[in-house]
Structure 1
Amino acid sequence: MRFGVIGTNWITEEFIQAGLTVEGFSLQAVYSRTSERAKEFADKFAAPYVFTDIAEMVASGQIDAVYIASPNCFHAEQAILCMSMGLHVLCEKPLASNVREVEAMLAAAKKYDVLLMEAVKSTLVPNFFAISDHLPKLGKIRRFTASYCQYSSRYDAYRAGEVLRAFDPAYSNGALMDLGIYCLYPAIVLFGKPKQVKAEGILLASGVDGEGSILLKYDEMDAVLSFSKITTSYQPAEIQGEDATMVIDKINHLTRVEIRYRDGRVEDVTRPQASKTMQYEIREFIRLAAAGARESATNSHTASRLAMEVMDEARRQIGVVFPADLPQE
C-alpha cells in the first residue's frame, strides 16, 4: 500500500518507522506547508514525492492511502478531501474536533466507498486482546479505572506566557483530546455506550482543559477516567471484577497485564508485543484494505462516534469550546 503522510512531526516519524517493519507498507509522498520541510522529511525516509498542496498530492495518482497527523482541527477537512479522491484514510486520534465532524467523515467514507480508521494504537496491540480475551475470569465487572497524566513538555512555555498549539483551542487541543482519549477509547470498545457522563476539569486561561476526570455510568458498573497535561501520574489501570482484578501497567502502552485473584493468586497474561506498537494499527489498516473492508471491527466507526460523543459532553461540562464547535457559515 502506497502511503502519503500529512504532518511532519514526531508522531509521523514514529508511524513511518513502524510502517517500515510492516510487509506491504510503502512511503511514497510527504505533504508539508513548506517545500523545505517536506523535502527534509522525505529525504530522511526516502519518499520519492513531496507536496505543499494537499489537493495535488491526493490527485497525483502516486498514493493509495493517507495517514493524517495534522492538528486535530484539520482532520475532518483533510480526510474528506482524501476520501473524495478514492483514497483510504488512517487518521490520528482524536478522529476530529467534535461529533459533527466525525459524522461528516463517516458519511464521506460511505459515499466514496473507502476505508476510514481512527489511529488509536493501544486498542490494536496484542495486550489489548489479552485484556479482552481474559475478561470472563474477573466475574461480574464492576469498575474500570484508567489514568493518563503526563506533564506536557510545552507547559513550561505556557506558564511563561507562550501559548503553543498543545494549549490552543483553535487547534482543538487539550488534555482530554490529547491524552484522555487513551483512557476513554478502551472503555468504549470494551463496555460500549455509557448511560451517563459526568465530567470535571481545570479550564486554563487559554480555553483548553489542563486536566480532568470523567465518570461513565453503566447499568452495573462504572468507569473512572483521569487525564492531565499539567501533572504526572504513575497509576496503573484496573478492571475490577467480583472474582478478580486485572491490572494494566500503562493504559497508553499496555506492556504488562496480570490478573490478581481474591485468593492471592496472580496470573500474568501479558503477550509478546513489539516496541514499535504503531505497526499493529498499520498492519490492521493494510489487511482491511486488502480484504475490501471499510472499517475495523475494533477501532470501528461506532467506537469512534461514541468516543467523540462522550468527549463532546465532557467538554461541555468542563467548559471547553473550540472554534470548530461554532456554527459553520
Structure 2
Amino acid sequence: MIRFGVVGTNWITDQFIESARKVSDFSLSAVYSRTEERAAEFAAKHGVSRTFTDLGTMADSGEIDAVYIASPNSLHAEQSILFMNKGIHVLCEKPAASNAGQFRQMVEAAASNHVLLMEALKSTFLPNFVAIEQNLHKLGKVRRYFASYCQYSSRYDAYKQGNLPNAFNPQFSNGALMDLGIYCIYPMVALFGVPDEVKATGVMLDSGVDGEGSILLKYADMEAVVLYSKITESSLPSEIQGENGSMIIHKISQPQKVEIRMRDGTVEDITQPQDPLTMRYEVEEFIRLIQSGRLESGVNTHARSLAALEIMDEARRQMGLVFPAD
C-alpha cells in the first residue's frame, strides 16, 4: 500500500480521493488544512483519523509515502519541494508551478532526493487520449491542432459583484490560462512537441488575471490554435486536422468521445470505455511508478510539464500577465 497525504480540502481533492480509492494499493493516511477545524471536518468525511495544520510536521511524521498537492497554484513549488526534501513522492495538481523557473527547482529537488515528481494532468492518461495517439497516423500529415476549453466560471458572478475569489486572484497564480488553457496546451505538447513560435492575446480583468485568451502556435509544418475562457461558455469540440481527414475530440480536458472523419465521408468512432472517475488513471500511473522504483512518468514527463509552463510563461509575457510568484 502507498500511504497518501492530501494538501488541500476543496472539491478537486474530494474527486481525487473518490477516484484513487478505486486503485487497490492506494491508502489515504493524512489530511492537511490550515485550520484544525477544516482538517478534522474533511478527514471525518473521508474516514481518516490523522490531521495536520503544519506541513513540516506532516512531512516529518513518517505516516505518508506520497502526497497529493491541490493547494493554490502559487504554493505548488514551495510545498512540493518541502515534501520532496523529506523523501516523500509528490503528485502535484496542474499547473505544477507558477512558472518554468519554479518547476526546474522542483525537478532538481526530486532528483537530489531520489523521489517521484509528477504533474497531475489527468487527460493524457485516459483511454480516449491513448486512442488519439494510436490513431493519429490515419489523418495523414497533420496540419492543424485546434483546442478549445471555454467554461464560464461559477465564481465569475461573485467577481462581478465586487468579490475576489481565488480563481481570479493573481496572488495565487490563477486565471484562465493557468486553470483551463493548460488542458489545451499539455496534450498539444504530448502529441506534437514544442512549437517554434508562440503568439498570444487575452482579455485582462481588473484584478490582474486573464479572463480569456487565444494562442497561435507555429510548428515547422503545422500550426496550433488554442482558445480558453473562464468568462464565456462554448460547446465547440477540439479537432486535429490532417491531409486525409480530421479527428473530432469532445471535451479536451477529459476526452469523452473521439471520432475520425475522413475526406471520403467515412466516419470511425474510436471512443474507448472509460471510468467516469477519470483521475483514477493518473493515480494508477503514479503508484505503479513508485512501486517499480521509477522517478519520472513516461507520459507526464518533466520535459512536457516544463515545455507547457514555458509556453504559458511566454503567453503571459505577451499578454502582460504577471504573478507575484514571478
- Partner Cα separation in structure 2 for residue 215 and residue 292 of structure 1: 39
- Partner Cα separation in structure 1 for residue 26 and residue 91 of structure 2: 13
Partner of 2:313: 312
- Stretches of structure 1 lacking an aligned partner (at least 5 in a row): none
Paired residue secondary structure (1:157): helix
Task: Give 1:129-140 correspondences, 5 Å limit.
Answer: 129-140=130-141
Partner of 1:196: 197
What is the deviation of 1:43?
A: 0.8
What is the deviation of 1:47?
A: 1.3
Does 1:291 find its partner at 2:285?
no
State the one-letter code of the partner of 2:76: H
State the one-letter code of the partner of 1:321: V
- Partner Cα separation in structure 2 for residue 140 and residue 184 of structure 1: 20
Partner of 1:172: 173
Paired residue secondary structure (2:325): helix
Task: Give 1:111-130 correspondences, 5 Å limit.
Answer: 111-130=112-131
Does 1:259 find its partner at 2:260?
yes
State the one-letter code of the partner of 1:246: M
What is the deviation of 1:253?
A: 1.6
What is the deviation of 1:48?
A: 2.4
- Partner Cα separation in structure 2 for residue 139 and residue 157 of structure 1: 47
Post-superposition Cα deviations, 1:48-90, rounded to whole Å, max 9, x if no partner, equal: 2100001001110000000000000000000000000000000
Partner of 2:211: 210
Paired residue secondary structure (2:299): coil
- Partner Cα separation in structure 1 for residue 136 and residue 49 of structure 2: 46
Post-superposition Cα deviations, 1:167-208, rounded to whole Å, max 9, x if no partner, equal: 010000000000000000000011001000000000111100
- Partner Cα separation in structure 2 for residue 127 and residue 166 of structure 1: 29
- Partner Cα separation in structure 2 for residue 164 and residue 40 of structure 1: 22
State the one-letter code of the partner of 2:167: A
Which segments of structure 1 move beyond 4 Å, counting only runs of 4 or more? none
- Partner Cα separation in structure 2 for residue 290 and residue 244 of structure 1: 41
- Partner Cα separation in structure 1 for residue 152 and residue 199 of structure 2: 24
Does 1:38 find its partner at 2:36?
no
- Partner Cα separation in structure 2 for residue 215 and residue 116 of structure 1: 30
Paired residue secondary structure (2:259): strand
- Report the count of equivalent residues: 325
- Partner Cα separation in structure 1 for residue 293 and residue 271 of structure 2: 32
- Partner Cα separation in structure 1 for residue 189 and residue 126 of structure 2: 16
- Partner Cα separation in structure 2 for residue 237 and residue 150 of structure 1: 14
Does 1:51 find its partner at 2:56?
no
State the one-letter code of the partner of 2:116: L
Task: Give 1:14-25 correspondences, 5 Å limit.
Answer: 14-25=15-26
State the one-letter code of the partner of 1:47: V
- Partner Cα separation in structure 2 for residue 91 and residue 2 of structure 1: 16
- Partner Cα separation in structure 1 for residue 51 and residue 125 of structure 2: 30
State the one-letter code of the partner of 2:318: Q
- Stretches of structure 2 lacking an aligned partner (at least 5 in a row): none
| TM-score using structure 1 length | 0.98
Does 1:104 find its partner at 2:105?
yes
Partner of 1:65: 66
- Amino-acid identity (%): 62
What is the deviation of 1:298?
A: 1.0
Partner of 2:303: 302
What is the deviation of 1:265?
A: 0.3
Partner of 2:86: 85
RMSD, matched Cα: 0.5
